[in-house]
Amino acid sequence: MSVKANLPSRHIFWWAYSLYVLLGFTVGSYLMIVSGSYPVAKWLSISLDAIGLFCFYCFLKQKPSFTRGFWILFSIIYTIKSAIGLAILTSAAIHTTWDGSNFSHIVLMDFVVAILDMPFFIAIILYTFDSKKIWAISRGEMANA
């Protein structure tokens, strides 16, 4: 038995925020590619961000994709990646003299971006752990959702 249920798309504010997410992914990936350092970590980070972008799209459309187990594993890996990035950023902030130099401006800008990225991270967590109706559709159990 196939359950054909369409959940409504997310609120317009989420869709407006998706423009920031797309721009951030594009600019961030470009800057990482041209930086020329740590090639394996750079490509791993870009790959995880691309998967996260797909997860965000599925969150917006409220459509199941892959399996919930895949997204749980991805959420754990993405949380670890984000925690490492935040630890590096915090370490840079602690060791910055905040003298108005370019480096201090970059660290400050990175903190602003980290704050603006929080809804993206929350969307990934919500899609993975708090989307019972979405995962019920994928299992054909809409009556229990």
Residue 59 contacts residue 126 (beta carbons within 8 Å):
yes
Chain segment 110-127, per-residue pLDDT in tens: 888 889 999 999 999 999
pTM for the full predicted model? 0.79
Chain segment 127-143, per-residue pLDDT in tens: 998 877 777 776 665 54
